[in-house]
Amino acid sequence: MPNHTDQHSDRTHRNDTHSSKPNGVGRRTALKGLGAAGLGLLGAGALGATRGKEADPAPAPEAQAPARTYAQATRGLPPVTITNVKAIPVYVGGIELVVVKVETDEPGLYGVGDATFRQRAHAVVAAVDEYLDDFARGRKAGHIEDMWQSAYQSSYWRNGPVLNNALSGLDQALWDIKGKRAGMPVYELLGGKSRFAVPGYSHAGGATPEAAAEDALRLVEEGFEHVRIQLGGYGAVNRSQEADFKDAGFGREADNFMDPDPYLDGVPEMFARVREVVGDDIELLHDIHERVEPMDALELLKELEQYDPFFIEDPVSPENNRWFEMIREQTHVPIAMGELYNNPHEWVDPMVNRWFDFIRIHISQIGGITPAMKVARLGEWFNVKTAWHGPGDVAPVGHAANAHIDLAIWNFGIQEAPRISDELREIFPGSPTVEDGYIHINEAPGLGVDVDEELAAKYPLPERHNYDWTQIRRKDGTIVRP
């Protein structure tokens, strides 16, 4: 309920703004806003307030009162300003990674975030270095939501993987900075731990059901209780015979051929064999990777019901979102969906209509921790759990961002566990670790992952771009959407 004092304060505030005082809030207004308790604080903290003053060498007289109040609230930490934003590309193990480093006017204080978009890495580097740097310089590092909203709409045409990934790098780096300033891991800023560590699943696979079962057993022995099983690569491309389009010289040499039949016949056989070997207590997952027709996907889902999968991933592509409504009515197999989504309109309807059980978005592809937390909270009200995408084309700091959110939210489902090479661990000190099927972050302030820039510079992006694996064709050469 508004009272006289509040209204008066508002008026004073507006007048001050119009009188173009540097800070916009007069000392009188600030004192009024504090109330009795605040005044007590001000008195008790008069000595402590000098810390704030030291960091701000020549504040305008009008600015002193609110600055002092802020300094008390933040125990002497003045706001920090962004001085530089840059992309740091790294090419290790055949995968293009891009991280973003955000530097500030506080000596030694910076943040690191993940902006990886493997198939268009150079475009993300340009989006960061040519646009986001210019956009963010001089702005306050602490205003994460405002930065996200303003950067998101500043290009007018928004969304899309290049801009979303670039924005994610900035966003994650700002959360990293906020955590470092607070002296807390980011999960603390997101609400604190809801679990002691993050349960993960890892990838097993083989050319035959027997080989897949053997590989699954290896992961169970490593401690995983959740294992994803694949047969002959995504869509069993390795089990497809020589394609007619290849004989005809259509397409490129590197293009893959996928015959849906050996895939659709082989997956239930694989599930049967893996169940025999690992037993009923291990949770099994599988990724259809969107490569079959909706009715074939539905038939496969129904066939797999008997093997009690934990979830089946990406039965159809985002362009086929409406098919989930029908699929949902005909099978009780839990469905995970969404690594390709980059526009909120793609996931909001399926979530609120409960068309799938797990939302599987790629955190850097949707724009970072800020939007991911909103997606997680939205899912809480519809019993949609999270299963953030965690493949090899996520930088270690991106895996850390996944894990910090996983630790904090209630409706966590499962996390695709990172598989980080020793080479990457050297470039990115502090990378998350995996033990007994659980993912651990290192509990350092921020996201806890650094980047060794000198070392990173020794792994430049390649000239030839890596997108051969996404090129799949049917027998006659028609492109398949992965």
Contact present, 159 and 345 (Cβ < 8 Å): no
CB of 209 to Mg ion, least distance (A): 21
* Residue 176 or 287 having the CB closest to Mg ion: 287
Query: Cβ closer to Mg ion: 171 or 339?
Result: 339
Q: Give the three-class secondary structure for 102.
A: strand
* Candidate segments 76-84, 102-110, 212-220, 281-289, binder of Mg ion by CB under 5 A: 281-289
Pairing of strands 385-386, 358-359: parallel
Using CB under 5 A, count the residues that bind Mg ion.
2
Q: Is 289 a catalytic residue?
A: yes
Which candidate in 187, 234, 263, 341 is catalytic? 234
Given the DSSP bridges, would you call strands 472-473 and 256-257 parallel, antiparallel or unpaired? parallel
Segment 325-364, which members bind Mg ion (CB under 5 A)? 339
> Minimum CB separation from Mg ion for residue 198, in Å?
18
393 lines the binding site for Mg ion (CB under 5 A): no
Nearest residue to Mg ion by CB is 287
Distance CA 474, CA 476 (A): 6
Closer Cβ to Mg ion, 87 or 95, answer by number: 95
Main-chain dihedrals φ then ψ at residue 303, nearest 5 degrees: -65, -30
Task: Considering the candidates 203, 226, 289, 404, report the single residue annotated as catalytic.
Answer: 289
Q: Minimum distance from CB of 237 to Mg ion (Å)?
A: 15
Euclidean distance between CA atoms 339 and 360, whole angstroms:
5
Stated as kind and residue range, the H or E segment containing 396 is helix 396-408
The yes or no reply on residue 103 touching Mg ion (CB under 5 A) is: no
Q: What is the rounded distance in angstroms from the CA atom of residue 420 to the CA atom of residue 397?
A: 11
Give the interface segment with Mg ion, choosing from 31-39, 165-173, 285-293, 347-355 (CB under 5 A): 285-293
DSSP three-state, residue 199: strand
Binding region for Mg ion (CB under 5 A) out of 93-101, 223-231, 280-288, 393-401: 280-288
User: 173 or 216, CB closer to Mg ion?
Assistant: 216
Closest distance of CB 361 from Mg ion, Å: 11
134 burial type by CB count under 10 A (0-12 exposed, 13-18 middle, 19+ buried): exposed
Q: How far is the CB of 389 from Mg ion (least distance, A)?
A: 7
| Burial (CB count within 10 angstroms: exposed 0-12, middle 13-18, buried 19+), residue 248 | exposed
- Which residue lies nearer to Mg ion by CB, 95 or 170? 95
Q: Say whether residue 287 binds Mg ion (CB under 5 A).
A: yes
Indicate the DSSP class of residue 81: B
Of 15, 40, 37, which is closest to residue 28 (Cα–Cα)? 15
How big is the chain by its Cα radius of gyration, in Å? 26
Binding site for Mg ion (CB under 5 A): 287, 339
Residues serving a catalytic function are 234, 289
